[in-house]
């Protein structure tokens, strides 16, 4: 007991310092993911991208986690070899992918630099620039999703039983902050039509994030020595593939995963196309379109910690997920059929994007053993990435199909209806989750800090 009291994670200042450290890693991850979102029109003008090409670029992030299940394997690796080695490996891959993406946009490469002739020698219907950027996006996604799983497990390790939902809410804030800064800053860094500065800055930030994780490693070593977690895993704690089968038999977990994929597929792909949507539907400038799109992330900065604190104190996670899904549907229908000022729907979309994630991610801790957190989150992220791969491509294809070649102003109506339909599916899954939880008894409607629900028994 005395050893536990002396552990550094028992001190609030240290715990929150760790959160800010790994939160920075998450912020630069999201910054890079969204750095090119407000620059779609420049990619079309200067690089010859079509809307489908842009959708393919966005979607390539999710290929390693969708078709190769890297987020699942990353979660398994995390549970097997620990936070430090897994985090360093995958944050490093994320940084490599970021630099390759930036390299694909620079003048040196475009003028025949290293690798250009090779990438220009095959699939010539796609430009050499696009193919290099796709390779970078692929590697970035391979590292980024598992790094998010690592950060989630770090939070559980340092904060379990200590306002966990609030902390997950703050964690989400770090990601949204990265998105908000990227959507606002990238258009101002283009120097007219040159996007390379904006992308190189994003890549450098990711490399600084790798340095920040190395600093975290030193704290993790100290904590493990104090709480004696360097011991070998007990036989009943070792990973078994049947653990994944057990997760897939858990109805509540499956419903949360399905809500995750439908909800995020209606938000992240929309966010990637949002600046171009505002540019075309409302006739705003490139800079203003990025600023309006960033309101989604800025809204979550306000609402997410409030929702997290509410979940810790009052619970109602399943109900909040239902309300958030309903708001999502209403926002996309508003964008599809009205000319209401985009500022208002974006505020409500920010509320929806606070309600669902802040309520959803802490519920996993109630369903699985802590020693399986990495595997559970990895499985959820891989399922989520199925949507993040498919729907950006579909959105681009719908845009190209519903707008004749040479159209100056794109009509996004059918694309927004596609996003609204995803929201409806999420609404259904949230409704079913409330019903199923009453039978399975994981206590998703109970406060996060409350002990004694079914999930707690799994740790004993």
pLDDT at 236: 45
Mean per-residue pLDDT for 409-420? 94
Reported residue count of the chain is 460
pLDDT at 192: 62
Q: How many separate helices (H) and strands (E) can be counted in the chain? A: 21, 0
pLDDT of 237 strictly over 80: no
Ordered structural domains, the chain, with CATH: 14-226+240-450 (1.20.1250.20)
pLDDT of 405 strictly over 80: no
From first CA to last CA, the distance across the chain in angstroms is 17
Q: How far apart are CA 198 and CA 60, in angstroms?
A: 20
Instruction: Give tens-digit pLDDT for 182-199.
Output: 988 998 888 666 788 999
Q: How far apart are CA 409 and CA 401, in angstroms?
A: 14
Q: Can you read off the two tokens belonging to residue 407?
A: 């159209």
Q: What percent of the chain has pLDDT over 90?
A: 48
C-beta of residue 362 within 8 angstroms of C-beta of residue 311:
yes
pLDDT of 231 strictly over 80: no
Instruction: Give tens-digit pLDDT for 44-91.
Output: 888 888 889 999 999 999 898 888 878 778 877 887 888 999 999 999
pLDDT of 398 strictly over 70: yes
pLDDT at 341: 92
Instruction: Give tens-digit pLDDT for 243-258.
Output: 677 788 888 889 999 9
pLDDT at 4: 44
Mean per-residue pLDDT for 130-145? 94
Q: How far apart are CA 29 and CA 353, in angstroms?
A: 18
Of 178, 196, 88, 101, residue with least CA distance to 141: 101
Mean per-residue pLDDT for 376-398? 89
pLDDT of 228 strictly over 70: no
pLDDT of 153 strictly over 60: yes
C-beta of residue 284 within 8 angstroms of C-beta of residue 170:
no
Give the residue ranges of DSSP H helices in 104-161: 107-110, 116-119, 128-159
pLDDT of 174 strictly over 70: yes
pLDDT at 371: 67
pLDDT of 268 strictly over 60: yes
pLDDT at 9: 78
pLDDT at 458: 42
Dihedral sign from CA coordinates of 301, 65, 72, 81: negative
């Amino acid at each position: 007991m005395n050893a536990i009291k002396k552990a550094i994670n028992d001190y609030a200042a240290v715990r929150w310092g760790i959160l800010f450290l790994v939160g920075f890693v998450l912020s630069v991850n999201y910054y890079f993911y969204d750095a090119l979102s407000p620059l779609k029109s420049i990619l079309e003008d200067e690089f010859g991208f079509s809307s489908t090409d842009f959708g393919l670029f966005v979607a390539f992030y999710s290929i390693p986690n969708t078709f190769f299940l890297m987020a699942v394997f990353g979660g398994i690796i995390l549970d097997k070899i620990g936070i430090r080695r897994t985090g360093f490996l995958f944050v490093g891959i994320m940084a490599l992918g970021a630099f390759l993406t930036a390299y694909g946009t620079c003048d040196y490469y475009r003028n025949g630099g290293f690798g250009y002739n090779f990438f220009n020698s095959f699939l010539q219907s796609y430009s050499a620039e696009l193919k290099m950027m796709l390779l970078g996006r692929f590697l970035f996604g391979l590292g980024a999703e598992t790094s998010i799983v690592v950060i989630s497990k770090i939070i559980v390790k340092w904060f379990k039983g200590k306002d966990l939902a609030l902390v997950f809410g703050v964690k989400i804030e770090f990601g949204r902050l990265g998105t908000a800064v990227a959507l606002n800053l990238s258009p101002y860094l283009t120097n007219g039509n040159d996007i390379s500065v904006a992308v190189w800055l994003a890549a450098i930030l990711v490399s600084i994030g790798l340095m920040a994780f190395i600093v975290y490693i030193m704290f993790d070593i100290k904590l493990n020595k104090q709480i004696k977690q360097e011991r070998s895993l007990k036989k009943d704690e070792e990973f078994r593939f049947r653990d994944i089968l057990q997760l897939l038999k858990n109805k509540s977990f499956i419903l949360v995963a399905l809500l995750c994929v439908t909800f995020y597929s209606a938000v992240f792909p929309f966010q990637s196309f949002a600046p171009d949507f505002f540019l075309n539907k409302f006739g705003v400038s490139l800079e203003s379109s990025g600023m309006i799109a960033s309101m989604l992330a800025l809204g979550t900065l306000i609402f997410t910690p409030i929702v997290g604190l509410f979940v810790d104190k009052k619970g109602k996670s399943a109900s909040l997920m239902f309300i958030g899904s309903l708001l999502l549907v209403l926002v996309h229908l508003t964008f599809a059929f009205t000319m209401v000022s985009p500022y208002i729907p974006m505020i409500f979309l920010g509320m929806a994007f606070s309600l669902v994630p802040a309520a959803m991610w802490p519920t996993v801790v109630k369903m699985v053993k802590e020693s399986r957190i990495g595997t559970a989150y990895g499985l959820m992220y891989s399922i989520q990435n199925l949507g993040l791969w498919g729907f950006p491509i579909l959105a681009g294809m719908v845009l190209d199909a519903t707008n004749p070649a040479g159209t100056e102003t794109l009509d996004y109506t059918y694309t927004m209806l596609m996003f609204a339909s995803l929201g409806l599916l999420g609404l259904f899954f949230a409704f079913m989750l409330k019903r199923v939880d009453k039978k399975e008894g994981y206590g998703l409607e109970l406060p996060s800090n409350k002990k004694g629900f079914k999930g707690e028994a799994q740790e004993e």
